[in-house]
Amino acid sequence: MLAIFMLILFMQSITPLKNRLSKYIGPGPLVAAAFIGPGTVTVCTLAGVNFGFELLWSLLLSIFGTMVLQEMAARIGLINQKGLPEIIRHEIQQPLIKFLSIGLIILAIVIGNAAYEAGNIGGAVLGLGAFGKLDALKLYDGKINLLPLITGLIAWALLMSGSYKKLEQFMVLIVILMSLVFMATAFLSKPIISELFSGFIPSINGDNITTIVALIGTTVVPYNLFLHSSLAAKKWQLNAELKYARIDTFISVLIGGLVSMAILITGTLGTAEKVTSVLDLAKSVEPLMGNAAPYFLGIGLFAAGITSSITAPLAGGLVICGCFGWGNELSSKPMRWTISLILLLGIIFSSLGIRPIELITVAQLANGILLPFLSTFILWTINRKKIMGRFRNTFTWNVLSFGIWIITLILGFKSILSIINNWNL
């Protein structure tokens, strides 16, 4: 009885602190969790394998650029109490431009997210593979892998809970878990400090340029801008709360960036000949972590996959509802149907072993166009007095934003050119 009484007193004592901290915790963890998916884990790992600490500076640049873009997206959403899709629908008056803009957004975000959802679920399944395998279910002449189905159902159940607050709480826990796993792994690798800091000196050459673009591209994610603006409008309603949104954004993106750096640092332990998947990296850290190495990295990869499996359909649902003016509450039918469709496609692709190469190619091409278009629209919107009032960009913030816009433009062209080259091959 005494133990129960002491527990009650402890919970009551931390309740006021919890209520105060809740103001500072918004959609930021969702944003961080979204860009640390299986793709980011793979790209950062291979960057470490192939170039050591050499490209840490590009991740630092990515973190800074993501902070700038996400802060503006959150600010637009909070001040206007609308997400970017709704603002695009209302502010672009020319019918043809509006039609093309919305069409491009739907193509890149919805179809692209459905295609990449297979990779997100597959990444989570790869992490679960460290704990054992589950026999495939025979169906007529084919087989269905059960782990992707189970993973997809977990993501679907969380999204169908009907509460953004519950999702935020879940993501905070997962991001903390993911951070601890990858940062602990990097710490245990005992990197040489002088070599580590040398990685923050910019170095670009013909060998690493593609990896630099990939590192930046996996951090600056177009659908995160839609996700952030919509959820910031739901979390905070008063202009005075902008300071909470900024703190939430900067801290969450910084933590996400540190996790990406930890993955790259861990990747330096591998060799290009041996590392074909992230779990292969466990062999390199076995001397440090013993038999727990596969499980350690498996948990991290599962966390990366499951978080992205949640945020991709959520962003797709918010975009569709915003573009067509439908209700975007999690309990609304349009949101549920869109989320379920994206998840279903991801489960089908990953369960049947289908590789949606054509869809992914189209999605990459559309995202390559969407990122500079969307950053241009954000810059235009954030500087309009009619929309933002006194919360417009300052001169300094515009200088920073324009620099990031140049980067997104280069990324867009690089993405488009890579797709064209692949088609020519």
- The larger pLDDT score, comparing residue 329 to residue 122, is at 329
Higher pLDDT among residues 412 and 318, named by residue: 318
Mean pLDDT of the chain: 80
CA distances from residue 72 to 317, 326, 425 in whole angstroms, order as listed: 21, 24, 39
* Residue 415 neighbours by CB under 8 Å, 6+ apart: 213, 217, 364, 365, 367, 368, 371
d(CA 373, CA 111): 18
Walk me through the domains of the chain, giving residue ranges and CATH numbers: 27-424 (1.20.1740.10)
Mean pLDDT of 332-350: 87
3-state secondary structure 133-184: CCCCEEECCEEECHHHHHHHHHHHHHHCCCCHHHHHHHHHHHHHHHHHHHHH
Q: Tokens 């129960």, residue?
A: 4
Segment 352-370 shows an average pLDDT of 61
Q: Which two tokens stand for residue 155?
A: 């993501």
The per-residue pLDDT for 13 is 43
Count of C-beta atoms within a 10 Å radius of residue 280: 16
φ, ψ for residue 410, nearest 5 deg: -65, -45
Q: What is the pLDDT of residue 4?
A: 36
Q: What does the block give as tokens for 76?
A: 């637009």
Of all residues in the chain, what percent carry a pLDDT higher than 70?
Answer: 82
- pLDDT tier, 10 (very low <50, low <70, confident <90, very high otherwise): very low
Structural tokens at position 125: 């399944």
Q: Which residue has the higher pLDDT, 295 or 357?
A: 295
Report the Cα–Cα distance between both ends of the chain, in Å, rounded: 73
pLDDT for the residue numbered 9: 39
* CA angle 168–170–171, rounded 5-degree value: 65
Mean pLDDT calculated for residue range 23-39: 83
Q: Decide if 317 contacts 122 (C-beta within 8 A).
A: no
Distance CA 92, CA 374 (A): 13
For range 344-360, the mean pLDDT: 69
The pTM (predicted TM-score) of the whole model is: 0.84
Report in angstroms the alpha-carbon separations of 191 from 48, 255, 269, 289: 12, 19, 9, 15
The predicted-structure confidence for 377-388, as pLDDT tens digits, reads as follows 899 999 999 899
Please compute the mean of the pLDDT values over residues 68-97 and round it to a whole number.
91
Give the CA-trace dihedral at 369, 375, 377, 378, to 10 degrees. Answer: 160
Identify the CA nearest to 296 among candidates 189, 171, 169. Answer: 189
